[in-house]
């Protein structure tokens, strides 16, 4: 058994990061392990996790499992979990409750836990204590070891816990069963060294490790060959890409430029920390048409006092300065979105009003807003939290009012314009329409023939809602 340890996870060693290309192997006796068996992977959390689930699925398919969309039909269930807030935890444990009933009827069913919750000591101890009926637990650093973990479990027939606290290296050569044929996630780095005081990610995802530029470019070139139209470069803090290279001077602006030069129609990147956003990056984004005019720039709070307590390393003023620089360079058509936490320990009415005033000033295209959720093991969890639950809920409500007002205003500006949309699927709200996104990340429902799915088309926008636009194809 290998149980996670937060003290270990917090360590940042000076050891050089190795790029390992031959770590993923399926033992011979596991090659047909999934024959005639179905798997179901449930994903919680961020895009990083979505992409990890694509890798987990591909590994299972390499062992000949077939996919099912219904967990009730599965022979193997993996929950790929998120640890960022309490409610992500609760959802997972709720799902485990339902699965337990299923397992009582279907004794051969295998159930595993993966992702960020698996990296948490307290979660794994709870699983060992109260969820002995589960089959295996693995973490974010050893996804490539899934075949071996299943093999061990088959031998021992006991709950197999195999979680690495130290991240180790960059594993190349992993397969991926991509959910979309048109847009793809591409990891450019793993982990995070920022240690914002509220955030669990530096513990669950380990130290920052950038992939080699040539491996990333090769992946993108292959995606272009396979007909992909869009890539999203993924990392917890993509602007710090390359800062961990010891010998190379190659940063995010260089990578963005090289990815743009592959000729892929659209390049996106998430998530940006304002701290590492350089002028050179802004110049590259402005220079290349295929780098989307969409920046997700989490601010977290508008109060410099709270930002300091959060360990964000910028003030309200310096965020606004960066925001204006980006706006001036990319123009008013660019879309800028953010993340905001309300009710951080010590946030008083005046601090919260600073956040409201920042939202009024920036007029974000949209924002993800959250109530602060203490995460065990992080510095903020030890701070005195003097804001009541009711007050936090009221602040969230007041903030959302402002965010929604500007989201609608931003969308209204599109009415009458013709924009390019990558059509992805039939619309969820109306199956006579198709749905896709603009390069500025606006969801568009469009009247057009299904043959356009997978293509970038011109759409004339006729109506704007707070969270979507409606339009017709402009041929």
Residue 307 within binding range of ligand 5AD, rule CB under 6 A: no
Question: At closest approach, how far in Å is the CB of 297 from ligand 5AD?
Answer: 10
Check binding of 274 to ligand 5AD (CB under 6 A): no
Q: Say whether residue 142 binds ligand 5AD (CB under 6 A).
A: no
Q: Is 49 in the site for ligand SF4 (CB under 6 A)?
A: yes
The entry of ligand SF4, ligand 5AD, none near residue 85 (CB within 5 to 8 angstroms by kind) is ligand 5AD
For residue 45, the minimal CB distance to ligand SF4 (Å) is 3
Cβ 117 to ligand SF4 shortest distance, Å? 8
How does strand 266-270 pair with strand 189-190? Answer: unpaired
Residue 199 in contact with ligand 5AD, rule: CB under 6 A: yes
Which window, 138-146, 345-353, 368-376, 465-473, contacts ligand 5AD (CB under 6 A)? 368-376
Asked if 364 touches ligand 5AD (CB under 6 A), the answer is no
Does 138 bind ligand 5AD (CB under 6 A)? Our answer is no
Q: Does 381 bind ligand SF4 (CB under 6 A)?
A: no
Q: How far apart are CA 300 and CA 298, in angstroms?
A: 6
Backbone dihedral angles phi then psi of residue 42, each to the nearest 5 degrees: -105, 125
182 near ligand 5AD, rule: CB under 6 A: no
Instruction: Tell me which of 84, 149, 322, 423 binds ligand 5AD, using CB under 6 A.
Output: 84
Q: Give 209's Cβ-side CA count (13 Å radius).
A: 22
Q: Does 373 bind ligand 5AD (CB under 6 A)?
A: yes
Question: Does the footprint of ligand 5AD cover residue 240 (CB under 6 A)?
Answer: no
Q: Residue 277 interacts with ligand 5AD (CB under 6 A)?
A: no
Rg value, the chain, Cα: 23
82 binds ligand SF4 (CB under 6 A): yes
300 binds, among ligand 5AD, ligand SF4, none (CB under 5 to 8 A by kind): ligand 5AD
Pick the stretch among 2-10, 52-60, 286-294, 366-374 that binds ligand 5AD (CB under 6 A): 366-374
198 binds ligand 5AD (CB under 6 A): yes
How far apart (Å, rounded) are the C-alpha atoms in residues 363 and 377?
A: 35
SS (H, E, C) the chain: CECCCHHHHHCCCCCCCCEECCCCCCCHHHCCCCCCCEEEEEECCCHHHHHHHHHHHHHHHHCCCEECCCHHHCCEEEEEECCCCHHHHHHHHHHHHHHHHHHHHCCCCEEEEEEHHHHCHHHHHHHHHHCCCCCEEECCCCHHHHHHHHHHHHHHCCCEEECCCCCCCEECCCCCCCCCCCEEEEECEECCCCCCCCCCHHHHCCCCEECCHHHHHHHHHHHHHCCCCEEEEECCCHHHCCCCCCCCCCCHHHHHHHHHHCCCCEEEEECCCHHHCCHHHHHHHHHCCCECCEEECCCECCCHHHHHHHCCCCCHHHHHHHHHHHHHHHCCCCEEEEEEEECCCCCCHHHHHHHHHHHHHHCCCEEEEEECCCCCCCHHHHCCCCCCHHHHHHHHHHHHHHHHHHHHHHHHCCCCCEEEEEEEEECCCCCCCEEEECCCCCEEEEECCHHHCCCEEEEEEEEECCCCEEEEECC
Q: Does 212 bind ligand SF4 (CB under 6 A)?
A: no
For the bound state, the minimum distance from the C-beta of residue 91 to ligand SF4, rounded and expressed in Å, comes to: 12
Q: How far is the CB of 53 from ligand SF4 (least distance, A)?
A: 10
- Choose the one of ligand SF4, ligand 5AD, none that binds residue 298, judging by a C-beta under 5 to 8 angstroms depending on kind: ligand 5AD
Distances (CA, A) of 329 to 291, 296, 463: 14, 16, 28
Q: Does 341 bind ligand SF4 (CB under 6 A)?
A: no
Contact predicate 202/240, CB 8 Å = no
Nearer to ligand SF4, 49 or 445 (CB): 49
Give CA–CA dist 169/443, Å, rounded: 37
Please tell me whether residue 123 binds ligand SF4 under the rule CB under 6 A. Answer: no
Among 59, 74, 83, 281, binds ligand SF4 (CB under 6 A): 83
Candidate ranges 14-22, 78-86, 104-112, 408-416; the one touching ligand SF4 (CB under 6 A) = 78-86
Among 309, 341, 443, 453, binds ligand 5AD (CB under 6 A): 341
Residue 236: closest CA among 191, 294, 185: 191
Taking the complex as a whole, the smallest distance from the CB of residue 2 to ligand 5AD amounts, in Å, to: 26
Compare residues 120 and 257 and give the one whose CB is closer to ligand 5AD.
120
Tokens at 446, concatenated: 């469009």
Does position 187 interact with ligand SF4 (CB under 6 A)? The reply is: no
Q: Does 370 bind ligand 5AD (CB under 6 A)?
A: yes
Q: Which of 85, 209, 266, 392 binds ligand 5AD (CB under 6 A)?
A: 85
Residue 314 within binding range of ligand 5AD, rule CB under 6 A: no
376 counts as binding ligand 5AD under rule CB under 6 A? no
Q: Which residues bind ligand 5AD (CB under 6 A)?
A: 84-85, 198-199, 298, 300, 339, 341, 370, 372-373, 375
Q: Which residues bind ligand SF4 (CB under 6 A)?
A: 45-46, 48-49, 82-84, 115-116, 200-201, 204-205
């Amino acid at each position: 058994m290998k149980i996670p340890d937060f003290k270990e996870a917090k360590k940042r060693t000076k050891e050089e990061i190795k790029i390992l290309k031959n770590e993923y192997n399926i033992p011979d006796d596991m090659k047909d392990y999934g024959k005639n068996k179905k798997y179901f992977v449930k994903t919680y959390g961020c895009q990083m996790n979505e992409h990890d689930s694509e890798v987990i699925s591909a590994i299972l398919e390499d062992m000949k499992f077939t996919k099912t969309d219904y967990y009730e039909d599965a022979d193997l269930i993996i929950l790929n979990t998120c640890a960022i807030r309490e409610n992500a935890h609760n959802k997972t444990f709720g799902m485990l409750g339902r699965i337990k009933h299923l397992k009582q009827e279907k004794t051969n069913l295998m159930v595993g836990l993966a992702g960020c919750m698996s990296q948490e000591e307290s979660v794994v101890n709870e699983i060992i204590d109260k969820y002995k009926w589960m089959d295996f637990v693995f973490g974010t650093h050893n996804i490539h070891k899934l075949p071996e973990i299943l093999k061990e479990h088959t031998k021992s027939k006991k709950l197999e816990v195999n979680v690495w606290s130290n991240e180790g290296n960059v594993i190349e050569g992993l397969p991926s069963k991509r959910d979309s044929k048109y847009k793809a996630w591409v990891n450019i780095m793993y982990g995070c060294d920022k240690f914002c005081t509220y955030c669990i990610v530096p513990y669950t995802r380990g130290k920052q490790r950038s992939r080699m530029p040539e491996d990333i470019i090769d992946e993108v070139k292959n995606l272009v060959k396979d007909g992909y139209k869009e890539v999203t470069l993924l990392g917890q803090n993509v602007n710090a890409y390359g800062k961990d290279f010891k010998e190379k001077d190659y940063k995010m602006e260089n990578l963005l430029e090289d990815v743009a030069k592959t000729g892929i129609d659209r390049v996106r990147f998430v998530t940006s920390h304002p701290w590492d956003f350089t002028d050179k990056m802004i110049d590259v984004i402005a220079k290349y048409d295929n780098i989307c005019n969409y920046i997700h720039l989490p601010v977290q709070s508008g109060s410099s006092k709270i930002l300091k307590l959060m360990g964000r390393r910028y003030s309200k003023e310096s965020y606004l300065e960066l925001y204006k620089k980006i706006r001036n360079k990319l123009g008013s058509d660019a879309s800028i979105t953010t993340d905001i936490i309300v009710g951080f320990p010590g946030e008083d009415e005046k601090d919260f009003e600073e956040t409201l005033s920042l939202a009024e000033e920036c007029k974000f295209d949209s924002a993800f807003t959250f109530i602060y959720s203490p995460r065990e093991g992080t510095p903020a969890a030890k701070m005195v939290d003097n804001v009541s639950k009711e007050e936090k809920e009221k602040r969230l409500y007041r903030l959302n009012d402002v965010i929604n007002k500007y989201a609608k205003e931003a969308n209204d500006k599109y009415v009458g314009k013709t924009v390019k949309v990558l059509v992805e699927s039939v619309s969820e709200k109306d199956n006579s329409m198709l749905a896709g996104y603009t390069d500025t990340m606006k969801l568009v429902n469009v009247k057009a023939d299904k043959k356009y799915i997978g293509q970038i088309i011109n759409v004339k926008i006729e109506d704007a809602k707070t969270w979507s636009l409606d339009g017709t194809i402009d041929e």
